[in-house]
């Protein structure tokens, strides 16, 4: 058993909610045996841990094969990874970059291409930012999504040249329209090989192709640099800009630390925490855009540690977090693909962002429909003692004594699913409710059964709270 005190557990739970998708109690206690910075270091070193054996899914359930032109299969596989990964930050960073470099399945309508795109994000998720930008610039799904296949030496299409600056690196007002044109020219000829026709051959991956005859080799000026610049040069220049460090830093803050304004407002609204952004910018500039080091600065900072429950869970975080609690899908299950419908009803479809701007976050996740879906999903999933995670919570409470008072019931459930911090009036409401049925008795088989049912009911009420919407 662990020797760490409750404060340590709360902090560790916070780190695991943000750097991963939450944890069950056993996992939390295992992590909490180590000291905080050691855990951060482990999270930043995914290569030291084994990968999720994803192929087992296809073997058991052919309908989950990623090559089938149905992103639901792929979304189900992604959830399986999120829940079972031994390197949670890698999966969380993949989701982070997917939110920044928001690329959609609907435009490509070619699932393997977008599957490759997500895998590219995963492989580069903690690399130098240059490598990541190079990865997306050569990514067929991105090339098609932002029309770079239509960006020709003789006639430029500015879409990618614009978005790489506006949404993927520096943010608006840090460059001119001429810089956009130069960037677009530098990426001319960056396209993909002729895809194999969908009919009748089915879904096939597409590969990057540089077409020299379609590239503009003339002199260009970009952010004060003049020369025969190509896409690689543009990426190098972008990565060393302080504006890029600020923009990506703000993205990291909004995703991992606390909800901030939406991206379009960033050029007019200052960051929620200027010091936090400055700290990340300093690391970025010192490390020459090493994302891993920026993450280390963030997770080890006081402002990160203090930001508990300052972030409304995204649908993906919400669902993965509930599944971590319920203990489902530790083994492959045939219904994994239905999780896509679950998050879609809550307003998020992975691999299909609403636009290149990605998803709006924070309170914008919540409306009457999505709140209902979230609460009902959590209640329905956890209202079942046969789920291993639910049984484990009931067992722990039973193990704490022959009898459990109403206040203990509330506090223990709050503790075991988080620890979740709630407002005093929320706690009072829950205790008042628990008091109507008195203390739980664990001494006989019949009373244990009744007590277990009450734990489950309390669990469903706790996940219906406002506070549970936050990570």
- Sites of contact with another protein (CB under 8 A): 104, 106-107, 198-200, 259, 312, 341, 344-347, 352, 354-357, 360, 362-364, 366-373, 375-376, 379-380, 383, 423, 425-426, 429-430, 433, 457, 460-461, 464-466, 469
Least distance from another protein to the Cβ atom of residue 343, Å: 10
Looking at the Cβ atoms of 231 and 358, the one nearer to another protein is 358
Q: Is the dihedral of CA 111, 117, 122, 123 positive or negative?
A: positive
- What DSSP designation does 248 have? H
The contacts of residue 194 (CB under 8 Å, 6+ apart) are: none
Distance CA 269, CA 319 (A): 31
Looking at the Cβ atoms of 195 and 232, the one nearer to another protein is 195
Looking at the Cβ atoms of 294 and 319, the one nearer to another protein is 319
Strands 220-222 and 225-227: antiparallel
Least distance from another protein to the Cβ atom of residue 93, Å: 25
Distance CA 23, CA 420 (A): 13
Residue 277: enclosing H or E segment and its boundaries?
Answer: helix 274-287
Least distance from another protein to the Cβ atom of residue 369, Å: 3
Looking at the Cβ atoms of 126 and 206, the one nearer to another protein is 206
Looking at the Cβ atoms of 398 and 433, the one nearer to another protein is 433
Looking at the Cβ atoms of 129 and 168, the one nearer to another protein is 168
Distance CA 213, CA 152 (A): 9
Tokens 């205790």 correspond to 431
Helix axis angle for 88-100 and 71-84, nearest 10°, is: 140
Strands 208-210 and 403-404: unpaired
Distance CA 225, CA 237 (A): 8
Asked if residues 76 and 61 have their Cβ atoms less than 8 Å apart, the reply is no
Distance CA 179, CA 237 (A): 12
Structure tokens at 348: 């998020």
Strands 220-222 and 190-192: unpaired
Least distance from another protein to the Cβ atom of residue 272, Å: 12
Least distance from another protein to the Cβ atom of residue 454, Å: 11
Looking at the Cβ atoms of 233 and 357, the one nearer to another protein is 357
Tokens 């549970």 correspond to 468
Looking at the Cβ atoms of 182 and 316, the one nearer to another protein is 316
């Amino acid at each position: 058993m662990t020797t760490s005190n409750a404060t340590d557990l709360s902090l560790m739970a916070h780190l695991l909610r943000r750097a991963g998708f939450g944890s069950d109690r056993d996992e939390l206690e295992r992590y909490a045996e180590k000291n905080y910075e050691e855990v951060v270091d482990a999270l930043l070193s995914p290569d030291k841990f084994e990968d999720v054996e994803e192929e087992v899914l296809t073997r058991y359930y052919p309908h989950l094969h990623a090559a089938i032109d149905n992103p639901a299969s792929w979304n189900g596989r992604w959830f399986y990874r999120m829940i079972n990964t031994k390197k949670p930050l890698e999966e969380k960073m993949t989701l982070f970059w997917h939110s920044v470099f928001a690329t959609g399945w609907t435009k490509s309508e070619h699932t393997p291409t977008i599957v490759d795109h997500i895998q590219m994000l995963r492989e580069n998720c903690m690399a130098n930012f240059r490598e990541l930008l190079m990865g997306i610039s050569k990514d067929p799904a991105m090339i098609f999504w932002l029309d770079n296949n239509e960006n020709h030496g003789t006639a430029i299409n500015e879409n990618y040249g614009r978005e790489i600056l506006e949404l993927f690196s520096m943010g608006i007002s840090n460059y001119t329209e001429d810089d956009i044109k130069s960037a677009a020219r530098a990426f001319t000829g960056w396209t993909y090989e002729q895809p194999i026709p969908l009919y009748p051959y089915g879904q096939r991956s597409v590969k990057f192709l540089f077409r020299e005859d379609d590239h503009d080799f003339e002199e260009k000026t970009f952010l004060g640099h003049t020369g025969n610049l190509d896409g690689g040069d543009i990426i190098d220049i972008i990565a060393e800009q302080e504006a890029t460090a600020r923009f990506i830093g703000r993205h990291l803050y909004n995703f991992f630390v606390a909800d901030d304004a939406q991206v379009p407002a960033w050029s007019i609204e200052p960051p929620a925490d200027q010091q936090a952004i400055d700290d990340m910018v300093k690391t970025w500039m010192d490390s020459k855009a090493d994302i891993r080091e920026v993450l280390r600065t963030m997770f080890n900072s006081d402002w990160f540690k203090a930001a508990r429950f300052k972030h409304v869970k995204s649908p993906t975080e919400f669902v993965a977090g509930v599944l971590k609690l319920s203990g489902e899908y530790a083994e492959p299950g045939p219904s994994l693909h239905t999780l896509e419908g679950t998050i879609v009803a809550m307003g998020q479809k992975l691999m299909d962002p609403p636009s290149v701007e990605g998803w709006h976050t924070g309170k914008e996740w919540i409306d009457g429909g999505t709140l209902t879906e979230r609460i009902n999903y959590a209640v329905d999933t956890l209202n079942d003692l046969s789920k291993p995670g639910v049984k484990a919570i009931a067992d722990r409470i039973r193990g704490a004594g022959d009898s459990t008072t109403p206040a203990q019931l509330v506090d223990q459930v709050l503790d075991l699913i988080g620890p979740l911090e709630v407002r005093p009036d929320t706690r009072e409401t829950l205790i008042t409710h628990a008091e109507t049925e008195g203390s739980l008795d664990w001494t006989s088989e019949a009373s244990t059964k009744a007590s277990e049912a009450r734990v489950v009911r309390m669990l469903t009420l706790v996940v219906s709270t406002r506070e549970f919407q936050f990570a």
